[in-house]
Each structure stands twice: as C-alpha cells, then as structure tokens.
Amino acid sequence: MHGHAQTSDIRTAANILASARYAIALTGAGISVESGIPPFRGEGGLWTKNGEPPMDGYQRFMADPAEGWRQMLDRRNSDDEFSRKLAEAVPNEAHLAMARLERDGVLKHTVTQNIDNLHAIAGSVLLTEIHGNRTKVRCIDCGDRRPFADIDMSSIPPACARCGGMVKTDVVMFGEPIPRDALRESDEQAGRADCILVVGTSAVVYPAAAIPEMVLQNGGALIEVNMDPTPYTRHATVALHGRAGEILPLLVDAVVAARTAT
Ligand code: APR
C-alpha cells in the first residue's frame, strides 16, 4: 500500500497535473497488467519468458501476405493464453482514471503503445495508438483503418474497401514502420506538452520512448507511474512506484481536490 511519502508524492503530482497548460500521457503494457494481459518485459513478461520475437515479422508478412493472414487468423482464433487474455480483457481502474482525466480536461492527449483497445473502451478519445489496435485493420496503401469485423474475408489477403490495396492488421509488426499519421500526431502532441504522465512502460522501445525525452527537453514535467525503475525514473519530477490500477485513481482524486482548492 502507500506509505506517507507516496501520498505526498501523489499530491505533488496532482498539483503539477492540475496546473499544467498541456498535459499528455504515454502508456505501455503495464497499465493493462491489472486487466489480465501480461507485459513484455520484467516480471511475468512475454519476452522475459519466451525471448524477444524475430524482428522481421513485417518483411515475412509482405513476402507472403496470404500465409501471413492465415497465421494471424489462426493466432486470433487460437485459445492460447495470450490470445484469450487479450480477447477477454476489460479496462481496469487505471484506464478509467485516464479517461476521467481526459473528460475533466486535465489530460489533453494519450499516446499508447498498447494494441488492446482498452483505453478506447474505457472512454479515452484523444488517443494515438502508436503500435496500432488489434480490433482494426489498416490498408498499407492508403492508410484506411476500419474494424476487423467490417472486412470481407472471402478472399485472403482482403482488399481495402476504399482503394483495393493491401490490408493488414492495424497492429504494427516488428520491422514495420510506425504509420505516418500516428507518428506525426505523437510528435505534435509531445511538442505541445508541458507535462507528461508516463504509465506502465519500460520506455526502451522507440519512437514511443522518445516522447518523454521531448517533453523534458522542452522543460516540461515528467510524472512516472511504474512498478520498476526505467531510464526516465531519475529524470522524473515525481516517480510513483506501484501498480497503476491503485495509484491512478488516487491521483485522479488528488487532481480533483487540487482543482477545487484553487
Ligand atoms: N502497474 C504499473 N506498471 C506496471 C504494472 C502495473 N500493474 N505491471 C508492470 N508494470 C511495468 C513494468 O515494471 C514495466 O516497466 O510496466 C512496464 C511494462 O514494460 P514492457 O513490458 O516493456 O511494455 P512496454 O513498455 O509497453 O513495451 C513497449 O515493446 O514489444 C514491444 O510492441 C511492444 O508495445 C510494446 C513495446
């Protein structure tokens, strides 16, 4: 639970958020752990258990898209633990807290590395999914995104409903460039921010991991909520160590208190 230090740190973080001109957030797999989805690194991480995946998934997909689609559909329909947990997961208190901060006008934008769609289900709208979204497909020719459910799967690989081009999962594969629209939007948001709330990311994967650095370079404040130390912990204005599902609701309450106090 929270010692006295944590409570005062939460109040300090809340004051920074409440008085920020343009606060944004960057989230990673850690924010979804309490929804039952394992992270990638650290304790219980998928890469910790199985080793990092091959870095040429995108190149292999492009070499044989039909086979790539067949493998992807098999994975989605498989009842392996990770697929099942992804399909069953619901937002936890941390996602709901982020959506509340957005609704209250405190959080101007969230960039997430997660593909689990939980921020959207929780109600976050001002959102950039920099690694894509598992419930969507994306055309690599025209960039059109739409729900998986809307795609005509009678032919594999499915053709884009808008331009007839090549459609793939919206999830950014290893070796695949980050879609230009997502990259541009996350860069723009980072450039505008005077405060960033970094939640549940080991901050080692780029370009997402460069976002907090941009905010620090612009003299902005960094609030970190994480279970383990990261490369940003020592640069954080406030580093809150613990579970996002416990800390974020406390942070939201403290922000509400700080805003009513002023
Ligand atoms: N609350 C807060 N933080 C947590 C929790 C929790 N309940 N559980 C774990 N964490 C922290 C861990 O300490 C770790 O630092 O969340 C972080 C998760 O780090 P990663 O597993 O590396 O996830 P992420 O940073 O999102 O990975 C980035 O790597 O493999 C790629 O595309 C994948 O988007 C992913 C990217």
Compute the mean pLDDT over every residue in the chain, rounded to the nearest whole number.
95
Q: Give 36: exposed, middle or buried? Use CB within 10 Å, 0-12, 13-18, 19+.
A: middle
Q: In what order do the strands lie in the sheet with 107-112?
A: 127-129, 107-112, 23-27, 195-199, 221-226, 238-241
Report CA(31)–ligand 1 centroid distance (Å): 8
Q: What is the mean pLDDT of residues 225-248?
A: 97
Q: What digits encode the pLDDT tens for the residues 7-44?
A: 999 999 999 999 999 999 999 999 999 999 999 999 99
Residue nearest to atom 21 of ligand 1 (CA): 40
Kindly give the number of the ligand 1 atom that is closest to the alpha carbon of 114. 34
Which of 173, 205, 183, 207 lies closest to 59, judged by CA? 173
Is pLDDT above 70 for 2? no
User: Per-residue pLDDT for 262 more than 80?
Assistant: no
| Stretch 201-215: mean pLDDT | 97
- Residue 228 pLDDT > 90: yes
User: Is 131 considered catalytic here?
Assistant: yes
Binding site membership of 227 for ligand 1 (Cβ less than 6 Å): yes
Whether the predicted pLDDT of 226 surpasses 90: yes
Tokens of 249: 């609701």
The per-residue pLDDT for range 154-202, each reduced to its tens digit, is 889 999 999 999 999 999 999 999 999 999 999 999 999 999 999 999 9
- At 145 the three-state DSSP class reads strand
Under the banding of pLDDT at 50, 70 and 90, the label for residue 236 is very high
Q: How far, in Å, is the centroid of ligand 1 from the Cα of 238? A: 19
> Tell me, what's the pLDDT at 237?
98
Instruction: Kindly state if the Cβ of 131 falls inside 6 Å of ligand 1.
Output: yes
For the chain, the 3-state helix, strand and coil shares in percent, each to the nearest 5, are 45, 15, 40
pLDDT at 66: 96
Ligand 1 mean position, distance from CA 215 (Å): 20
Q: How confident is the model at residue 81 (pLDDT cuts 50, 70, 90)?
A: confident
Residue 49: the pLDDT is 92
Instruction: Provide the whole-model pTM.
Output: 0.97
Pocket test for ligand 1, best of 34, 227, 241 (most atoms within 8 A of CB): 227
**What gap in Å lies between CA 4 and CA 95, rounded to an integer?**
25
Between 179 and 82, residue with greater pLDDT? 179
pLDDT at position 76 is: 83
- Nearest ligand 1 atom to the CA of 29 is 26
105: left (phi over 0), alpha (psi -120 to 50) or beta: left
Q: State the pLDDT at residue 1.
A: 46
CA distance 22 to 236: 17
- Under DSSP, the state recorded for 177 is P
Residues 6+ apart with CB under 8 A from 49: none
The pLDDT value recorded for residue 159 is 94
The residue that leads in pLDDT, 83 or 196, is 196
For the chain, how big is the Rg over CA atoms in Å?
19
Nearest to 168 by CA among 55, 52, 84, 57: 57
